[in-house]
Structure 1
Amino acid sequence: MTTSQIGIIVSILAYLAMMLLVGFVSSRETNDVKDFYLGGRKLGPFVTAMSAEASDMSSYLLMGVPGLAYFSGIADAGWTAFGLIVGTYLNWLFTAKRLRNYTAEVDAITIPDYFKKRFEDNSNIILCIGALFILVFFVPYTASGFSACGKLFSSLFGVNYQLAMIVSAVIIVGYTTTGGFLAASKTDFIQSIVMTIALFFVVGYGIVSAGGVNAVMENIAALPGFIDVNATYNNAANSADPYGLFSKITMFCWGLGYFGMPHILLRFMAIRNASELKLSRRIASVWVVFSLAIAVFLGVVGRSLTQSGALASLIDIDNLSSSAKAETLIVVLAQKISEHNFLFALLAGLVIAGILASTMSTADSQLIAASSSVSENIIQETLGINLSEAAAMLTARATLIAVAVLGVVIAWDPNSSVFGIVSFAWAGFGAVFGPCMILSLYWKRMNRFGAMAGMISGGAMVFVWKYLVRPLGGVWNLYELAPAFLVSIIFIFIVSLLTKKPSETIIDSFEKVEIKS
Structure 2
Amino acid sequence: MSGTTMVILSAFVAYLLLMIVIGVVYMKKTSSSEDYFLGGRGLNAWVAALSAQASDMSGWLLMGLPGAIYSLGTGQIWIAVGLFIGTVLNWVCISHRLRKYTIAANNSLTIPAFFENRFQDKKRILLLLSSIVIVIFFLVYTASALAAGGKLFNTVFGIDYHIALAIGAAVILCYTFMGGFMAVCVTDFVQGTLMLIGLLVVPLVAYLTLSGSLSDLLTQSGAPGGAAAFLNPFENGERPYTFIEIFSQLAWGLGYCGMPHILTRFMAVKSEKELKKSSAIAIVWDILSLTAACFIGIIGRAYLLPTVLGENGASSSESVFIEMINKLFSSHLGLPFIGGIFLCGILAAIMSTADSQLLVTASAASEDLYHQFIKKDADSKEILAVARLTVIVVSVLAFVIAWNPNSSIMGLVSNAWAGLGAAFGPTVVMSLFWRRTNLTGAVAGIVSGGLTVIVWDYIPLAAGQTLGSYTGLYSLAVGFAVSLVMIIIFSLATKAPSKEITDVFDKVAGK
Report the TM range for the smaller structure's normalisation: over 0.9
Q: What TM-score does the superposition give when structure 1 sets the normalisation length?
A: 0.94
Output aligned runs, 1:418-429, within 5 Å. Answer: 418-429=409-420
Question: Structure 1 residues 341 and 249, CA, compared in 2 at 3 Å: closer, same or farther?
Answer: closer
- Asked whether the equivalents of residues 337 and 345 of structure 1 are also in contact (C-alpha less than 8 Å), the reply is no
- How far the C-alpha of 1:393 sits from its partner, in A, is 1.2
1:507 aligned to which of 493, 502, 507: 502
Structure 1 residue aligned with 2:50: 50
> 1:4 & 1:57 partners in 2: Cα distance?
29
Contact in 2 for aligned 1:259/1:433 (Cα 8 Å): yes
Amino acid at match of 2:60: Y
CA contact (8 A) 1:471 1:477 kept: no
Distance 2:103 2:29 in 1: 20
Secondary structure at the aligned position of 1:294 is classed as helix
Q: Which aligned pairs between 1:411-490 and structure 2 lie closer than 5 A?
A: 411-467=402-458, 468=460, 471=466, 476-490=471-485
1:186 aligns with 2:186: yes
Q: Does structure 1 conserve the Cα–Cα contact (< 8 Å) formed by 2:244 and 2:472?
A: no
Alpha-carbon separation, structure 1, partners of 2:337 and 2:171: 21
Q: Distance in 2 between matches of 1:9 and 1:421?
A: 28
Distance 1:401 1:381 in 2: 21
C-alpha contact 1:66 1:327 (8 A) present in aligned 2 = yes
2: CA distance between counterparts of 1:384 and 1:476? Answer: 46
The 5 A counterparts of 1:205-244 are 205-211=205-211, 215-221=213-219, 223=223, 224=225, 225-233=229-237, 240-244=238-242
Please list every run of 5 or more consecutive structure 2 residues that lacks an aligned counterpart in the other structure.
Answer: none
- Between 184-193 and 382-391, the greater mean CA deviation after superposition: 382-391
Partner SS, residue 404 of structure 2:
coil
Looking at structure 2, the residues matched to 257 and 472 of structure 1 have their Cα atoms a distance apart, in angstroms, of 20
SS in 2 for 1:229: coil
Correspondence for 2:260: 262
For 1:364, the equivalent position in structure 2 comes to: 355
The answer for unaligned runs of 5 or more in structure 1 is 234-239
| 1:46 to partner: Cα distance | 1.0
Aligned partner letter, 1:49: A
- Following the alignment from structure 2 to structure 1, what is the Cα–Cα distance between the partners of residues 215 and 55? 33
Aligned counterparts of 2:251 and 2:482: Cα–Cα separation in 1: 14
* Paired position in structure 2 for 1:94: 93
Deviation at 1:339, TM superposition (A): 2.9
Q: CA deviation at 1:473?
A: 6.9
Tell me which residue corresponds to 2:34: 34
State the shift of 1:341 in Å.
Answer: 8.4
Contact 2:456 2:468 in 1 (8 A): no
Q: In 2, distance between residues paired with 1:279 and 1:385?
A: 38
Q: Shift in Å at residue 29 of structure 1?
A: 2.2
- State the secondary structure of the residue aligned to 1:413: coil
Q: How far is 1:384 from its partner?
A: 4.2
CA contact (8 A) 2:37 2:363 kept: yes
Of 306, 315, 318, the match for 1:327:
318
SS at structure 1 position matched to 2:194: helix
Q: Is the 8 A contact 2:371 2:377 kept in 1?
A: yes
Q: What is the letter of the counterpart of residue 378 of structure 2?
A: L
Q: Does the residue aligned with 2:239 lie in a helix, a strand or coil?
A: strand
* CA displacement, residues 343-364 of structure 1 (integer Å, 9 cap, x when unaligned): 6110111121001100000000
CA apart distance, 1:6: 1.3
Mean alpha-carbon deviation: is it higher for 111-120 or for 344-353? 344-353
Work out whether residues 457 and 467 of structure 2, in 8 Å CA contact, stay in contact via their aligned partners in 1. no
Residue deviations 1:161-198, cap 9 Å, x none? 11111111110010011110011011101101110111
Question: CA contact under 8 A between 1:7 and 1:342: conserved in structure 2?
Answer: no
**Deviation of the 1:448 alpha carbon:** 0.7
Query: What SS is found at the alignment partner of 1:395?
Result: helix
State the secondary structure of the residue aligned to 1:31: coil
Distance 1:164 1:330 in 2: 18
Of 164-173 and 26-35, the range deviating more from structure 2 = 26-35
**Is residue 2:358 matched to residue 1:387?**
no
1:491 maps onto 2:477 in alignment: no
Partner of 1:57, secondary structure, is helix
SS, match of residue 263 in structure 1: helix
1:275 and 2:263 aligned: no
Q: Distance in 2 between matches of 1:344 and 1:199?
A: 17
Amino acid at match of 1:508: D
Coordinate RMSD, CA, aligned? 1.8
Which sits farther off after the overlay, 445-454 or 339-348? 339-348
SS at match of 1:210: coil
Question: Is 1:83 aligned to 2:82, yes or no?
Answer: yes
Instruction: Look up the SS of the partner of 2:236 in the other structure.
Output: strand
1:346 to 323, 334, 337: 337
**Structure 1 match to 2:161:** 161
- Single out whichever of 493-502 and 465-474 deviates more from structure 2: 465-474
- The corresponding residue for 1:252 is 250
Structure 2 CA distance, aligned partners of 1:440 and 1:341? 55
Consecutive aligned runs of 4 or more in structure 1 exceeding 4 Å deviation: 472-475
1:236: which partner in 2? Answer: none
Percent identity between matched residues is 41
- Residues 91-118 of structure 1 deviation map (CA, whole Å, 9 limit, x = unaligned): 1111000000000112100000000000
2:98 counterpart SS class: helix
CA contact (8 A) 1:458 1:485 kept: yes
* Counterpart-to-counterpart distance in 2, 1:442 and 1:67: 38
Amino acid at match of 2:408: S
Deviation at 1:273, TM superposition (A): 0.4
Amino acid at match of 2:381: A
Deviation of 1:278 (Å): 1.8
SS at 2:123 equivalent: coil
Q: Which residue of 2 aligns with 1:284?
A: 282
Q: Distance in 2 between matches of 1:446 and 1:389?
A: 32
Instruction: Tell me the number of residue pairs that the alignment of Structure 1 and Structure 2 aligns.
Output: 500
CA distance in 1: counterparts of 2:400 and 2:388, whole angstroms: 19
> Which is worse superposed, 456-465 or 3-12?
3-12
